[in-house]
Structure 1
């Protein structure tokens, strides 16, 4: 049998910022959207959270050791085929380095680790390039001791995600055939530029697309935001939908929220989302005074990327046809598993653990300005405004649920 390679990704996003150098714009937007749409097809009523940039980085690490058709599949799927071969490694290095620069306004960390089976010969050039482009920590382990290795890697992931990503791996993920494991962890913490005041947070009904309602904590603020109303012109997206951009401290990073009309299911809007449309939204929202109602929410997801990537054309790396000969002397490696685990929490100030105020019924006031009422499912993107690189993408179908208080007069 062919020895497998294990590819793992973990992401934490506790809330809500980043600065980029003069680097080329990210070209993986379409790849990001295609990933999202494959995940969307798997669960009609599920929340989604994942990091497209993290997936691109992990595939970049594999690409360093890929050759022939295996290499071309990765380049084609991610969007690198339009680049001179090899340029993508510097692009990914520049994107992640720029986002990871020290800045008191936010914390972004990319951490890459490479675990090699002891006693197996790996290409020194591959290990060198992993360290050069991805700053990878390289360790030798014995995958035969699966429980010990799983605990060791899980501990590494926890340390790089402030303990938000736990139990990424189990002993069952390894076997005597495992030769190499790649782990990519992304950690993001920041604050909104304009924070929501906790005393304005109230309970509110959130209408799910299946017709049910849940009670959730709704944040509120009125302020100047980049806002626009868009339509695809064919009514396929249910007519006009809203796009709101909320900047993080420092303004280089933002969360973009895309909200269909109240009566329009998010599934009606999702098919029109394309890479160029993300840029169109960013370029055409205009700064104006807006009333924003946004639920506090947590989304967490473990995604098996193997099937998703195969559907996007990355097939060879998961089969006996894999040519990863840039990693070892022989063509005897393939990837057995590709996993990402992501977590996002959005609160009033963006930091974890913000307390909401008493649960008091929220009523709509007289509308004087455009109003974004996210009391039904919405799509979101967290992106760098300078490069367009998408750190995180997802949707909220069900926010945090709170027990309703029946007697509001008693509060």
Structure 2
């Protein structure tokens, strides 16, 4: 039976604390890196000079779940946009399965959890093969709810999200997000916490000025250490990035996961660097930084952002699934489903590791001309990627640094 005007909210959720990662030796090279960078650029244009934090991995997994139920042009648009069109049909599901399973391997140094869930209207009919495949590839939990009881559904889904993100993502949805015509909601959550390989000493943290690109300043807590890190100086050969810029890769415990920080010169706005950020360049940075002793000044920061991804994904080429022309008939026997919402809420926290209450006072006296080692002073806007060897887990930029 056809049900008119059905909307299908797709909720993409992710979370990060201090990080460590995964074993990825058997995972193919990341095929979604270009999609991740294109997504970042779209969010940057929309966000202006605000902080940005999102999880390309979370978006890819959620779209993979949608792709399992898509056919025709709806399917083709997802495969083309995310970067799967060069693969044999269906191979991407095994790729995402292998990646998420490797990320979820237990390790003494970190906690990383990926959780997927389907909430189905209790009296609606869904294709058993679709439900089987989504459990197989994404280990998704499936439960039924009554979307007409919108307050109860919002409470149930919010509770699920809180339970899978150590209560860092709270009250994500409200009763107003649901109506009686909704038949299915997909939820994807990523939680990540770990330790730096070289931890910052809390007693070295001091209050410092962080200079925004608009010329204003905010006071932040600046961490400091001198240690062995992967470091390089690069130039795009033009003035687009203001000449030379610094790339610092700081590994987490175990070294399979790292945070890569890309920092323009003090007098150069981050917006000058953003146009040159491309997927091949990320790999070039990773392959050409060299291990050496570096002085690092990095702000403690906490960024949380809720993103409405629907318009962004449409701009990137995923359009049909958000219209009444969507073909999600692999989910049901009819063509009466379409995507009503695409939302991601991400959280990133960077500290000395377990020392949130340890705050020094005063100002750091800096002597740039007398340093013996390369110095990375992240006291102005910078771009970052939290990544393992095969995929970006979190990506964004810091334009101001409240904590």
Larger displacement relative to structure 2 (86-95 or 22-31): 22-31
Instruction: Kindly indicate whether residue 306 of structure 2 is the aligned counterpart of residue 302 of structure 1.
Output: yes
Q: What is residue 335 of structure 2 aligned with on the other side?
A: 331
SS across alignment from 2:46: coil
Match of 1:185 among 189, 192, 202: 189
Aligned pairs (5 A) from 1:259-408 = 259-349=263-353, 351=354, 354-365=356-367, 366-385=370-389, 387=390, 389-400=391-402
CA distance in 2, matches of 1:332, 1:42: 31
Unmatched 5+ residue regions in structure 2? none
CA distance in 1, matches of 2:314, 2:371: 48
Unmatched 5+ residue regions in structure 1? 402-411
In the alignment of these two chains, the number of paired residues is 397
Q: What is residue 76 of structure 1 aligned with on the other side?
A: 80
CA distance in 1, matches of 2:8, 2:47: 28
CA distance in 2, matches of 1:16, 1:89: 26
Q: What is residue 10 of structure 1 aligned with on the other side?
A: 13
CA distance in 2, matches of 1:174, 1:377: 38
CA distance in 2, matches of 1:127, 1:2: 23
Match of 2:120 among 116, 119, 122: 116
Contact 1:107 1:190 in 2 (8 A): yes
Cα separation, partners in 2 of 1:28 and 1:15, compared to 1, 3 Å: same
Instruction: Kindly indicate whether residue 256 of structure 2 is the aligned counterpart of residue 252 of structure 1.
Output: yes
CA distance in 2, matches of 1:177, 1:268: 46
Q: What is residue 130 of structure 1 aligned with on the other side?
A: 134
Aligned pairs (5 A) from 1:26-41 = 26-41=30-45
Shift of 1:362: 0.7
CA distance in 2, matches of 1:248, 1:330: 48
SS across alignment from 2:312: helix
Shift of 1:357: 2.7
CA distance in 2, matches of 1:145, 1:4: 16
Contact 1:10 1:168 in 2 (8 A): no
Shift of 1:369: 0.4
Shift of 1:21: 4.0
Contact 2:259 2:384 in 1 (8 A): yes
SS across alignment from 1:140: strand
Contact 2:241 2:273 in 1 (8 A): yes
Contact 2:204 2:360 in 1 (8 A): no
Q: Deviations over 1:87-146 (max 9, x none)?
A: 000000001100110101111110000011111110000000010000000001100000
Using structure 1 for the length normalisation, give the TM-score: 0.95
Contact 2:262 2:382 in 1 (8 A): yes
Q: What is residue 173 of structure 2 aligned with on the other side?
A: 169
Contact 2:258 2:386 in 1 (8 A): yes
Q: Deviations over 1:291-323 (max 9, x none)?
A: 000000000000000000000000000000100
CA distance in 2, matches of 1:269, 1:167: 36
CA distance in 2, matches of 1:70, 1:357: 52
Moved >4 Å (runs of 4+): none
Contact 1:66 1:324 in 2 (8 A): yes
SS across alignment from 2:47: coil
Contact 1:217 1:356 in 2 (8 A): no
Match of 2:240 among 233, 236, 240: 236
Shift of 1:66: 0.1
SS across alignment from 2:231: strand
SS across alignment from 2:92: helix
SS across alignment from 2:341: strand
SS across alignment from 2:96: helix
CA RMSD, aligned part only? 0.9
Q: What is residue 217 of structure 1 aligned with on the other side?
A: 221
